[in-house]
Structure 1
Amino acid sequence: MAYRLYEGKEHASSYWKYRISPSDHLIQQVLNFLEKQRGQPFELAVDVGCGSGQGTLLLARHFVSVVGTDVSPAQLEMASQHAKEPNITYRRCVAEELPFADGSVDLVTAMSAFHWFDRPRFLQEAHRVLKPRGCLALLNYTIDMQLSYPDCCSHTLNQVCKEFYAALQPYRSAHLGPSSIEIYREAHGSIPYPDKEWLMSIMKVTSVETEVVVAVKYFYLLACKPQDA
């Protein structure tokens, strides 16, 4: 079962302003995996559940064409407003029914979105559209963040952060369980591809709105469709 959230215009505006984006380093890990498995050129990437398009933009400089997909017209409108690169397009569709031909996509990504999909159906659909040796990348971050600020005790800042997330915990979607990492572990076990990687990466992201440095723990799953699949 898929879960539809964050589709309104206010959500889309907040997503663009505050949504944490993967670092260039993390995107490079995905590209390194794709090059190792399939090689260049990188022709078509599809960013599923793209929201306001931050991740889609990061892919655009590396592919001939990048398509972001989402169910929300408001999110896609926001994404389109910030897509200056001519090789980016956006399509409205559900994650489980992608408008691409069989075996036509080099890379399918889902950045902080996979946990909302009908996961078995999405994985089947990703398998359908991927080229032989094409790759799937599922990325997400945890809320186990570390804050720092000049002349301020990091321990105190992070204690406030922990109290904040503890207050939010009762409002966490029951669908996600106590930790969304387990959803990705389950997906890792269910993907029958022999070439796949499970890694935990820590990177630093600095908000353009403040001088607070936020260290975000990302985890990602990379898998390559076999040549004869």
Structure 2
Amino acid sequence: MAVHLFKKMAFSLAYQKSIIPVSNEITDMILSYVKQKTNGRPLEMAVDVGCGTGRYTLPLAPHFKKVLGLDISDSQISVANQVALANNVSYMVAAAENLPLKDASVDLVHASLATHWFTIDKFVKEAVRVLKTGGCFATHAFFPFFVLEYKHLSYDLTGVMKEAWDILFKHLDNSVNTMFCQYRNVYEAIPLKDKEHITDISLKFPMFVPEVIGFIESFYMYQDFKEKDLKQAEKFLKQIEERLREILGEEADSACMNMYMKYYCVLACKQ
């Protein structure tokens, strides 16, 4: 598996800098679900599993008394601690399949862009164990295909992204199967009756050329490519940037493109 890549500090820094921005729409949807299911009671504890550098951990902070971010990578947790901005947020190195929490102690178990890396049945079992009665489970990610839009150039720009993805496909881990099925297997593994599987959530992220290149660089597939053949990986990234700039022409430095992505989310409540 490619999990070892996330343990490298260089990748953790690139990930924090350039991975797709936090989606307020997804965060708001999850928080709305939690508040509905908990009938407005005070929320004590949330745990963000596979938290990475804490990008989705921090938005939970205003809504819970305590938030704990867990990740198997020391380097990700190290970066998370460097950017922590909330007094009620803490981080710990721990595996998703062995949560360091007491039974029935958590109001929300959350995982963003991470569940496909876990042993799903063990993680789900642990999530249910630590949830309080009325507690919620939420996990989400995006489908690995991107549309890049800008004026009349969208077809060509998206074509470049597709070509880039085709090359990076050679470095995919088996975990991508869980992403392609939009977490259907995660939904089916949850032994709770009250659950939802929401797919094809279309989200838009504005990006300039350097941000698109940084986004590609934050993919674990690119990091795997780079680890195996540094020269060819850097050449690939440079060619992608040149192609985008060629299509955009004189507007290459000023063009704010829209990156369209499809997210999906699994929600559940322990009744």
Does 2:265 match 1:220?
Answer: yes
Cα offset for 1:183? 6.6
Match of 2:216 in 1: none
In structure 2, C-alpha distance between the alignment counterparts of 1:116 and 1:21, rounded to whole Å:
20
Alignment match, 1:180: 179
Does the CA contact (< 8 Å) of 2:182 and 2:264 recur in 1?
A: no
- Aligned mates of 1:30, 1:80 — CA distance in 2: 24
Is 1:106 the equivalent of 2:151? no
> Is there any run of 5+ residues in structure 2 with no aligned partner, and where?
212-255
Match of 2:252 in 1: none
In structure 2, the partner of 1:60 is: 61
Instruction: Check conservation: 2:148, 2:158, Cα contact below 8 A.
Output: yes
Partner Cα separation in structure 1 for residue 58 and residue 260 of structure 2: 22
Give me the whole-angstrom Cα distance separating, in 2, the residues matched to 1:3 and 1:12.
12
Q: Can you give the 5+ residue segments of structure 1 that lack an aligned partner in the other structure?
A: none
Distance between the aligned counterparts of 2:163 and 2:24, measured in 1? 30
Partner of 1:76: 77
Equivalent residue number for residue 47 of structure 1 = 48
Question: Are 2:171 and 1:171 equivalent residues in the alignment?
Answer: yes
Separation of aligned partners in 1, 2:155 and 2:105:
49
The alpha-carbon deviation at position 182 of structure 1 amounts to 2.2
Any idea what SS the aligned residue of 1:102 has? coil
Give the CA RMSD over aligned residues: 2.0
Partner of 2:214: none
Q: How much does 1:148 deviate?
A: 2.2
| Higher relative contact order (CA closer than 8 Å, sequence separation 6+) | 2
Q: Is the 8 A contact 1:195 1:224 kept in 2?
A: yes
| Higher deviation after alignment, 37-46 or 153-162 | 37-46
How many positions carry a matched residue from both structures? Answer: 224
Identity of aligned residues (%): 36
What residue identity is the alignment partner of 1:191?
I
Question: For structure 1, which segment, 100-109 or 39-48, has the greater mean C-alpha deviation from structure 2 after superposition?
Answer: 39-48
- Return the offset for 1:85: 1.0
**Which residue type is aligned with residue 185 of structure 2?**
E
Q: Shift in Å at residue 5 of structure 1?
A: 4.1
Provide the rounded CA distance (Å) in 1 between the counterparts of 2:170 and 2:159. Answer: 18
Q: AA paired with 1:221?
A: V
CA positional deviation for 1:22: 3.6
Q: Is the 8 A contact 1:112 1:139 kept in 2?
A: yes
Aligned pairs for 1:2-13 (under 5 A) are: 4-13=4-13
Query: CA distance change for structure 1 residues 74 and 81 in 2, over 3 Å: closer, same or farther?
Result: same
Local SS of the residue matching 1:39: coil
Provide the secondary structure at the position in 2 that maps to 1:188.
Answer: helix
Pair member with larger Rg: 2
Which deviations, in whole Å up to 9, do the C-alpha atoms of 1:179-198 show, x marking residues without a partner? 62327101212212111111
Q: Which has the higher helix share?
A: 2
1:111-143 CA deviation, whole Å, 9 max, x = no partner? 011111111111111011100010111111112
- The alpha carbon displacement at 1:2 in A equals 11
Once superposed, which parts of structure 1, at least 4 consecutive aligned residues long, lie more than 6 Å away? none
Once the 2 structures are TM-superposed, how far is the Cα of residue 4 of structure 1 from its aligned partner?
A: 4.8
Write the letter of the residue equivalent to 1:26: I
